[in-house]
Structure 1
Amino acid sequence: MDGLDPISIGVVAGLAVLAPLVASLIGRVAKVPLVVFEIVLGIVVGPSLLGWVNESGFIDGLSEFGLAMLFFMAGNEIDFKAISGRPLRRASLGWLISLAAGVAAGLLVSPSIEAGIVVGIALTSTALGTIMPVLRDAGELSTPFGRAVTAVGAVGEFGPLVAISVFLSGRAPLTAAVVLIGFVLVAGLAIFLASRGPYPRLHALVAATLHTSGQFAVRLVLFVVAALVVLSMVLGLDMLLGAFAAGVLYRVLLKGGDRADLKLVESKLEGVAFGFLVPIFFIYTGVTFDLTSLLSSPSSLVLMVASVVLLLLVRGLPGALAAPPGSGRRDRVAIGLFSATGLPIIVAVTGIGVAEGVLQASTAAALVGAGMLSVLLFPLLALGQRKRALGGRTLPPDTEVHVPVEG
């Protein structure tokens, strides 16, 4: 099979097992997000260092599906009812400010308007799929603080995807906007129809196949993701927009099911996503990371450090606008740090820029490197600020079902 490298497949699978072991050991000293270890291990075994794993068409395909599942899980995690109102309004305002500031900063540091737009969009992202597990483990998902961070993350995922579809689709912006509206109408109609449930027969089929080879719920997820991803690609939009919408649709579709069944379905989805596909994406991100271009160019290293600062200024400061009323300085700082945590969309946007020939490989490596540093540093610093704001108290991990149910 073209692009099938058995050694690379074996090494990537081994790294997916090794990463949580290393994270567990390091976690005794500092809570570092798992994705950091996955990316670093990918860099170590990739062409930049040991050369054990090279770029592979087969692994690249799994990586793309892993990225799609990451955005599906992000859409599936969001309870829009919980973040509606002030959190979502303030988060949206903050993102619009980030977009204006990001494009302005991108134009200042880039040689062309096209490159400036790519850099600007990359600076406006928030890695919701990365910070949601952090919030869950910290017991913050259902708190006002957690809802504010979730709102910022939701807009920070969806907003850049819209911007990619409008400005980086290769179409005239007006035509791209019309196509985007068409996709939103189709996806919105599907979500509206799904929300008219509950659907007892669907829930009964899900329950009947939970412990059989049928696994209808998991198969339905894969179908919904594939259908909306294909629709977005056919329309010339970024596939991640379809994956995100699929997560929202699936969450609404299962509303009203049995709580225990939904909890089990959620566990199965997390197993498929975070146990299989998503680790491949992050490990392969490390494998394909152009460390040589970054280290061979002093200006790229400077740009990487500058981009970390820009993430804080462009994304972090506006993101803090979503802080709940009465929030203290430490909570606002924590929300700003979570807001500035970005990587998956940075990888996607810079990849488009390099493929279109508007962004240099060294610049893309600097931006991705900044995203890696943000994932490594900002959640840790944010949790520290939040813990101090709580007076040193810690909350129990969230154990609630993330698919809403009717009481």
Structure 2
Amino acid sequence: MLILQLAIILIASKIFGDLSVRLGQPSVLGKLIIGIILGPSVLGLVTETETLTQLSQIGVILLMFIAGLETDLDEFKRTGKPATLVGFGGIIVPLVLGFFAGMMLNLSTFQSVFLGLLLSATSVSISVQALKEMNQLQSREGSTILGAAVIDDVVVILALAFLMSLSGGDVNLGLVVLKKVLFFAGAILVGWKVVPWFMKKFAPLKVTETVISSALIICFVYAYLAEYTGVAAIIGAYIAGIAISTSGYKEEVFGKVETISYSIFVPVFFTSIGVSAQFNGIFDNLGLVIGLSILAILTKLIGASIGAKVSGFTWNSSLAIGSAMVSRGEVALIIAAIGLETKLLTQDLFAILVVVILVTTIVTPPMMKLFFKNHSRTVKAA
């Protein structure tokens, strides 16, 4: 069944991706929608299995690894201040308004803070693909978005650890912070000194495809260590891509890893997001789903856009950046699962939030298309 499901996913994602482009939208939108159609909620041709989930995880890791390879490190350094303001702007507004929304829903104080943190999460894996298709990944806006996403991920996870420690969870906040500090310090040091050395030593081995194999080893090790220390695996993969981008193997690695990724793993990732959607009983809470979806979209868009504007971007560029931060993706799904496990979310609220997360993920590509189109017009006019 897995082989058949993979065949169905690949042909459907390519056809619907092409259709989405012909309709003036990023191809990722078509892949997300066809996932819903293929999944249990509609046709039931593809089901969420452990193997499919693992293939999807590899897909998002490789996607962020490619984003790291394509990152202009000098531009990334220059966008430190804007990325920080965008990251914190995109956290504060959803956190505060999400908290008040939780109180209005008669949730406890801890539950309301948790809801605010969940709405503060960002996953730019979907945005990365849209940025690539619009040739904006290496722009100042693209670098700001990627930097803000790293800041967002770290701050939200630290805040979540703090909340869990206060709510009686078995969490050592000092250890959580220490592990993240050690990861980033080690990742930077290894990327600077060890990665180039490893690539030079491994590449000449008398076996086939040693360059791409060594790059993937680095990518997966970084992703694993990031996950192990409580930082998202996609952040580790992104840092690994940046490390290899500074070596002399960047072009060779990029060409081959892109072929591997987009031929199977990345389409599986995009499609599996839609496949995982469950709409059972959602129509009984449709008003709440719509309300929380609007709140999730507007708070992240407004908060991140204000951060970008304060840092010196035009309003068109600020809205483009803000729209790219809207997707909550797999990061928010992980946080929601933690909430369900620790009883901070009820089963009904968990199901509602999964749909809200899916909505934010689906609306992100067309929003980015709209705002980046306006941004391009402004640049040309100037």
TM-score, normalised by the number of residues in structure 1: 0.77
Q: Which residue of 1 aligns with 2:280?
A: 292
User: CA separation in 2, counterparts of 1:377 and 1:77?
Assistant: 25
Q: Which residue of 2 aligns with 1:376?
A: 362
Segments of structure 2 that go 5 or more residues without pairing to the other structure are: none
**1:304 Cα deviation after fit:** 2.0
| Matched letter for residue 277 of structure 2 | F
Deviates more, 1:196-205 or 1:175-184: 196-205
User: CA separation in 2, counterparts of 1:275 and 1:389?
Assistant: 31
- Contact between 1:319 and 1:335, CA under 8 Å: does it hold in 2? yes
1:288-317 residue CA offsets vs partner (Å, 9 max, x unmatched)? 32211213x1x2x21221122212332111
Matched, 1:50 2:50: no
- Out of 302, 312, 326, which is 1:317 matched to? 302
**1:246 Cα deviation after fit:** 2.2
Distance 1:211 1:20, change over 3 A: farther
SS of the counterpart of 1:358? coil
| Matched letter for residue 281 of structure 2 | S
User: CA separation in 1, counterparts of 2:305 and 2:88?
Assistant: 11
Matched, 1:243 2:233: yes
Matched, 1:162 2:178: no
Distance 1:196 1:262, change over 3 A: closer
- Contact between 1:38 and 1:279, CA under 8 Å: does it hold in 2? yes
SS of the counterpart of 2:172? helix
May I ask how many residue pairs the two structures share in their alignment?
Answer: 374
Q: Which residue of 2 aligns with 1:269?
A: 257
Q: Which residue of 1 aligns with 2:132?
A: 136
| Matched letter for residue 286 of structure 1 | G
- Out of 342, 345, 348, which is 2:334 matched to? 348
User: CA separation in 2, counterparts of 1:57 and 1:195?
Assistant: 32
1:372-393 residue CA offsets vs partner (Å, 9 max, x unmatched)? 3333334323332332343377
- Contact between 2:18 and 2:27, CA under 8 Å: does it hold in 1? no
SS of the counterpart of 2:23? coil
User: CA separation in 1, counterparts of 2:18 and 2:115?
Assistant: 34
**1:8 Cα deviation after fit:** 4.4
Q: Which residue of 1 aligns with 2:189?
A: 193
Distance 1:198 1:68, change over 3 A: closer
Distance 1:255 1:48, change over 3 A: closer
Q: Which residue of 2 aligns with 1:405?
A: none
Distance 1:96 1:268, change over 3 A: same
SS of the counterpart of 1:323? helix
Q: Which residue of 2 aligns with 1:108?
A: 104
Matched, 1:302 2:287: yes
SS of the counterpart of 2:217? helix
SS of the counterpart of 1:383? helix
% identity of equivalent residues: 19
- Contact between 1:42 and 1:286, CA under 8 Å: does it hold in 2? yes
Q: Which residue of 2 aligns with 1:11?
A: 5
Q: Which residue of 1 aligns with 2:30?
A: 37
| Matched letter for residue 88 of structure 1 | A
- Out of 371, 390, 400, which is 2:376 matched to? 390
- Contact between 2:5 and 2:46, CA under 8 Å: does it hold in 1? yes
| Matched letter for residue 335 of structure 1 | I
User: CA separation in 1, counterparts of 2:115 and 2:262?
Assistant: 28
Segments of structure 1 that go 5 or more residues without pairing to the other structure are: 1-6, 395-407
- Contact between 2:68 and 2:238, CA under 8 Å: does it hold in 1? yes
Deviates more, 1:267-276 or 1:334-343: 267-276
User: CA separation in 2, counterparts of 1:19 and 1:175?
Assistant: 41
Matched, 1:153 2:149: yes
User: CA separation in 2, counterparts of 1:128 and 1:197?
Assistant: 28
1:79-124 residue CA offsets vs partner (Å, 9 max, x unmatched)? 4843544213312431442333333333433633454344222211
| Matched letter for residue 345 of structure 2 | L
After superposition, where does 1:86-97 map in structure 2 within 5 Å? 86-97=81-92
User: CA separation in 1, counterparts of 2:39 and 2:129?
Assistant: 27
Q: Which residue of 1 aligns with 2:325?
A: 339
User: CA separation in 2, counterparts of 1:272 and 1:104?
Assistant: 45
Deviates more, 1:326-335 or 1:202-211: 202-211
Distance 1:76 1:391, change over 3 A: closer
User: CA separation in 2, counterparts of 1:111 and 1:269?
Assistant: 46
**1:190 Cα deviation after fit:** 1.5
User: CA separation in 2, counterparts of 1:69 and 1:176?
Assistant: 31
Higher helix proportion:
2
User: CA separation in 2, counterparts of 1:124 and 1:17?
Assistant: 35
